[in-house]
Amino acid sequence: MHSPPPSRATLAAGRRALLLRGLPGLALLALALHQVEGEAHAASPGGPGQGPQQPPQVAVVEVRPQPVPLTIDLPGRTAAYETAEVRPQVSGVIRERLFREGEEVKAGQQLYQIDPASYEATLASARAALAKAEASVASYQATVNRYRPLVRANAVSQQDLDNAVSSLRQAQADVESSRASIRTAEINLQYTRVYAPISGRISRSSVTPGALVTAEQTTSLASITRLDPIYVDMVQPSSALLALKRDFAAGRIRKNGDGEAEVTLMLEDGSTYPHAGRLQFSEVIVSTSTNSVTLRALFPNPDGLLLPGLFVHGLIQAGLNENAILVPQQGITRNMRAEAVALVVGADGAVEQRNVTTGASVGDQWLVTQGLRAGDRVIVEGMQRARPGAKVQVEVLTAEQLRQRNIRQAAAQQGR
- Same fold for the pair 66-79+226-407 and 88-114+195-219: no
pLDDT in tens, 223-246: 999 998 999 998 888 777 777 677
Q: Identify whether 209 is preceded by a cis peptide bond (ω within 30 of 0).
A: no
Higher per-residue confidence, 170 vs 2: 170
Task: Determine the topology of domain 116-191 in CATH.
Answer: Helix Hairpins (1.10.287)
Is residue 356 a contact partner of residue 371, using CB atoms and an 8 Å limit? yes
In one-letter notation, the amino acid at residue 271 is S
Instruction: Give CA separation, 28 vs 21, 22, 34, in Å.
Output: 13, 10, 10
**Where do the domains of the chain lie?**
66-79+226-407, 88-114+195-219, 116-191
CATH code at 66-79+226-407: 2.40.30.170
The domain 88-114+195-219 is placed in CATH, from the list 2.40.30.40, 3.40.50.450, 3.40.50.9100, 2.40.50.100, at 2.40.50.100
Confidence grade of residue 260 (pLDDT, cut at 50, 70, 90)? low
pLDDT digits (tens, 9 = 90+) for 359-386: 777 878 888 888 898 899 999 998 888 8
Among the ranges given (12-21, 159-168, 315-324, 379-388), the one the predictor scored with the smallest mean pLDDT = 12-21
Cβ atoms of 350 and 390 closer than 8 Å: yes
pLDDT of the residue at 93: 95
DSSP helix/strand/coil, 30: helix
Q: What is the pTM of this model?
A: 0.60
Task: Give yes or no for a contact between 372 and 63, defined as CB atoms under 8 angstroms apart.
Answer: yes
Sign, CA dihedral 32-38-44-46, equals: positive
